[in-house]
């Protein structure tokens, strides 16, 4: 009996539930226009926009030199502080020079001995010629030829000893290592007392010097951007500069760390000086038949012995001292001023006041392209300015980009090589552009759109064509507004709108819950 009563009660409840559901389904559906979503809106504005392009770049030094020794020896002293700014020509390291001084003294002694042998051989030859002139046949022709050959050999030995002396003096100069540029020096990798061997194919790197002021920044742009920039530059010059062009400047050279470098012309120059002095001191006037008394032709080479038959006697000791002193003084003059490269030898295009590089096809012009550089995207980040001075000679086919380089002053050494930065280039002035906020743009995989509002705050999806961005990527330029009639699938004519008109409202926040035709509550 109890079971039956419980079954009747459950049946009654089930009937009421079914009736409630039927009543609820009979109610009118909720309209989208009745749902109001709170959104943040903005107005499409029309203004003149100065276009800029931003690229990620890296700061690199104008000059970077690895300092290495050119000789073998023990490091004697380090003459700089790690991490300091060193001047061009400043002494950085000294290598123990005792063995090299001995080699110089030995080469000097051999040079003096060679000169003495040359004077003796020449005197023997002159005496034989003069004796034969006084009494013909006193000295045989074969002996005269032998004496002349001995003199020529002695003369060649003397020239060789001069080059050996210069070589040893140059080796001695390598015991002092100077900085070829002004810049920030790294810590040294070696301490005094260590053995350095710079004679092999892989010399040790003692330290590295990087120039800091001026400094370069390098970045890559796409081939399309490069073509566009090139076209704009050519149009600019056609309007303002005409066809005036400047001569192209050279590019920085790759430097060797082996300073001071060897002067390849020095041995030949000194040898020519010695030979010229020999020729001026001993050369007789050539005879009409261009031959000497022994029948030998007179040599006209500036480095070869000549016939001294018509000369006056010279004190051999005085002459030897003069010749050796001339060679020694020439070498001393070269060593008194160590070779330090000039600014134009290091990086001619890095000098700001002389920089006149500007992209214009394959030519250069007096105008320059300015750029701005910031180390961060923060609004209050410090802005550095410079000028573009180089673009690569080809486009990288693997990435489709062109390498661009700019130069800027860095007097306070705030910019360090290796810094990742943002480079901004100024483009054309776009007049009357319709501007919207970047955050309002949506994407449905087919095109970009924004949620436009009419005067009744009804949201409508409006497709747009976006162009350049500016203001650090926060604002975007839209293509001009357009309207056209299209035929729908039902055969109706529909007015299709693209873009926004100036002053038209659009949603910037809260559009995630918005649907087409929905009335929103703007804030």
- The pLDDT tens digits of the residues spanning 459-517 come to 888 899 888 777 767 888 888 888 887 676 666 777 788 888 888 999 999 888 888 88
Do 169 and 91 sit in the same domain of this protein? yes
- Domain enclosing residue 217, as ranges: 53-65+211-256+344-428
Residue 355, domain CATH:
2.40.30.170
Q: What pLDDT shows up at residue 136? A: 78
- Residue 506 near residue 500, CB atoms below 8 Å: yes
Q: What pLDDT shows up at residue 267? A: 40
DSSP letters for 464-492 = E-EEEEETTTTEEEEPPPEEEEEE-TTS-
What is the three-class DSSP state of 418?
Answer: coil
Number of domains the chain is built from: 3
- The crossing angle, in degrees rounded to 10, of helices 316-335 and 266-282 is 150
Q: Kindly state the greatest CA–CA separation across the chain.
A: 175
Counting as low any pLDDT under 70, the low residues of the chain are 1-35, 232-317, 319-321, 323-324, 327-328, 330-367, 472, 486, 488-491
User: How do beta strands 442-443 and 448-453 pair?
Assistant: antiparallel
Q: Is residue 143 part of a domain?
A: yes
User: Which tokens is 230 given?
Assistant: 């090139």
What is the three-class DSSP state of 438?
Answer: helix
Q: What pLDDT shows up at residue 430? A: 80
Do 297 and 284 sit in the same domain of this protein? yes
Taking the CB of residue 516, how many other CB atoms lie within 10 A of it? Answer: 10
Separation between Cα atoms, residue 476 and residue 2, nearest integer Å: 77
Q: What pLDDT shows up at residue 474? A: 83
Q: What pLDDT shows up at residue 494? A: 73
Rounded to a whole number of angstroms, the CA Rg of the chain reads 44
Residue 467, domain CATH:
2.40.420.20
The upper half-sphere exposure of residue 99, i.e. CA atoms within 13 Å in the direction of its Cβ, equals 9
Q: Is residue 16 part of a domain?
A: no
Q: What pLDDT shows up at residue 317? A: 59
Do 370 and 242 sit in the same domain of this protein? yes
Q: What pLDDT shows up at residue 282? A: 41
Q: Is residue 484 part of a domain?
A: yes
Do 455 and 479 sit in the same domain of this protein? yes
Q: What pLDDT shows up at residue 230? A: 73
Q: What pLDDT shows up at residue 160? A: 94
């Amino acid at each position: 009996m109890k079971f039956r009563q419980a079954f009747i009660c459950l049946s009654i409840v089930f009937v009421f539930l079914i009736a409630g559901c039927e009543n609820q389904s009979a109610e009118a559906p909720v309209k989208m226009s009745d749902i109001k979503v709170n959104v943040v809106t903005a107005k499409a504005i029309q203004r003149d926009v100065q276009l800029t392009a931003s690229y990620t770049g890296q700061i690199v030094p104008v000059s970077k030199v690895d300092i290495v020794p050119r000789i073998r020896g023990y490091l004697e002293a380090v003459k700089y502080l790690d991490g300091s700014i060193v001047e061009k020509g400043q002494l950085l390291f000294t290598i123990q020079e005792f063995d090299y001084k001995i080699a110089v003294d030995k080469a000097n002694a051999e040079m003096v001995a060679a000169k003495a042998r040359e004077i003796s051989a020449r005197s023997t030859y002159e005496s034989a010629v003069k004796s034969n002139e006084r009494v013909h046949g006193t000295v045989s022709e074969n002996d005269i030829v032998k004496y002349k050959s001995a003199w020529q050999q002695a003369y060649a030995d003397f020239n060789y000893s001069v080059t050996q002396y210069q070589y040893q003096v140059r080796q001695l100069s390598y015991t002092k290592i100077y900085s070829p540029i002004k810049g920030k020096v790294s810590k040294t990798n070696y301490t005094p007392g260590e053995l350095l061997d710079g004679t092999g194919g892989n010399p040790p790197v003692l330290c590295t010097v990087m120039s800091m002021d001026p400094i370069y920044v390098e970045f890559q742009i796409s081939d399309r951007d490069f073509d566009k920039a090139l076209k704009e530059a050519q149009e600019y010059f056609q309007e303002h500069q005409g066809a005036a062009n400047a001569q192209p400047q050279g590019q920085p050279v790759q430097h060797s760390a082996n300073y001071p470098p060897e002067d390849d012309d020095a041995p030949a120059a000194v040898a020519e000086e010695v030979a010229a002095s020999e020729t001026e001191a001993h050369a007789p006037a050539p005879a009409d038949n261009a031959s000497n008394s022994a029948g030998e032709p007179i040599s006209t080479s500036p480095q070869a012995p000549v016939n001294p038959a018509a000369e006056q006697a010279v004190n051999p000791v005085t002459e030897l001292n003069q010749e050796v002193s001339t060679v020694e003084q020439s070498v001393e003059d070269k060593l008194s001023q160590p070779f330090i490269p000039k600014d134009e030898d290091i990086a001619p295009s890095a000098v700001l006041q002389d920089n006149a590089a500007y992209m214009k096809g394959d030519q250069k012009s007096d105008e320059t392209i300015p750029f701005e550089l910031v180390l961060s995207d923060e609004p209050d980040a410090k802005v550095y300015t410079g000028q573009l001075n180089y673009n690569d000679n080809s486009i990288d086919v693997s990435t489709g980009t062109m390498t661009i380089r700019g130069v800027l002053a860095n007097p306070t050494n705030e910019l360090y090589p290796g810094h990742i930065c943002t480079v901004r280039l100024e483009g054309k002035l776009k007049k009357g552009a319709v501007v919207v906020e970047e955050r309002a743009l949506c994407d449905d995989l087919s095109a970009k759109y924004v949620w436009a509002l009419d005067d009744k705050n009804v949201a409508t999806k409006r497709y747009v064509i976006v162009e350049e961005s500016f203001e650090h990527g926060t604002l975007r330029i839209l293509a001009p507004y357009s309207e056209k009639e299209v035929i729908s699938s039902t055969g109706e004519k529909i007015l299709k709108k693209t873009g926004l008109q100036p002053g038209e409202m659009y949603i910037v926040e809260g559009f995630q819950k918005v649907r087409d035709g929905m009335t929103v509550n703007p804030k």
